[in-house]
């Protein structure tokens, strides 16, 4: 089993448990944006958006940089690690799916034999 260092995955999942924050990550996947861009895009106050970005920043999913009066947000350093974790999650999902598919196929073949239908080959 893949082991994750102390609670960092928890921070990621907590950050990702909120639909707005997931949407913010999707938005930043398309390009960097300022807090006010994001607040406007999601019809939120600046304060509300700052809180969401703060949670994402804590989980290292987002980094921010202040230039002059504008704070720019971009996807953070967790991206590569996230890729490994995500791909492993996908593999487990498919593995579980395929295990059930194999059972479904076995049952189907059994039914075909017992219905007396010739096997279609």
Partner 1 sequence: MDTRSATEATTTMNRTTIERTSEQELVVTRTIDGPRDVVFEAWTNAELFRQWWVPKSIGVKLLSCEVDARVGGGYRLTFDNGTDEPMAFFGRYLEVSPPTRLVWTNEEGDEGMVVTTVTFEDHGAGTRLVVHDRYPSKEALDAAIASGATGWHAETFDQLDELLVKRGTSTRA
Q: What residues line the site for partner 1 (CB under 8 A)? A: 1-2, 9-10, 13, 16-17, 19, 22-23, 25-26, 28-30, 61, 75, 79, 82-83, 86-106, 108-109, 112, 119-121
Least distance in Å: CB of 11 to partner 1?
Answer: 11
CA distance 38 to 28: 9
CA distance 28 to 32: 5
Strand residues in 1-121 grouped as ranges (E): 33-34, 62-67, 70-75
Which residue has tokens 């970005």?
53
Coil, helix or strand for 90? helix
Beta carbon nearer to partner 1, 99 or 115: 99
Beta carbon nearer to partner 1, 69 or 117: 117
What single DSSP character describes residue 91?
Answer: H
Beta carbon nearer to partner 1, 39 or 56: 56
Q: Are 64 and 53 in contact (CB under 8 A)?
A: yes
Least distance in Å: CB of 65 to partner 1?
Answer: 18
Beta carbon nearer to partner 1, 36 or 90: 90
Least distance in Å: CB of 68 to partner 1?
Answer: 27
Least distance in Å: CB of 117 to partner 1?
Answer: 12
Q: Are 105 and 119 in contact (CB under 8 A)?
A: no
């Amino acid at each position: 089993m893949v082991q994750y260092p102390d609670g960092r995955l928890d921070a990621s999942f907590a950050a990702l448990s909120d639909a707005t924050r997931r949407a913010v990550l999707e938005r930043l996947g398309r390009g960097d944006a300022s807090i006010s861009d994001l607040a406007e895009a999601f019809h939120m106050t600046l304060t509300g958006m700052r809180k969401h970005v703060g949670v994402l920043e804590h989980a290292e999913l987002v980094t921010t940089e202040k230039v002059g009066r504008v704070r720019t947000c971009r996807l953070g350093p967790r991206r590569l690690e996230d890729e490994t974790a995500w791909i492993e999650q996908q593999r487990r999902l498919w593995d579980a799916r395929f295990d059930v598919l194999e059972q479904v196929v076995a049952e189907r073949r059994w039914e075909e034999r017992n219905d007396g239908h010739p096997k279609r080959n």
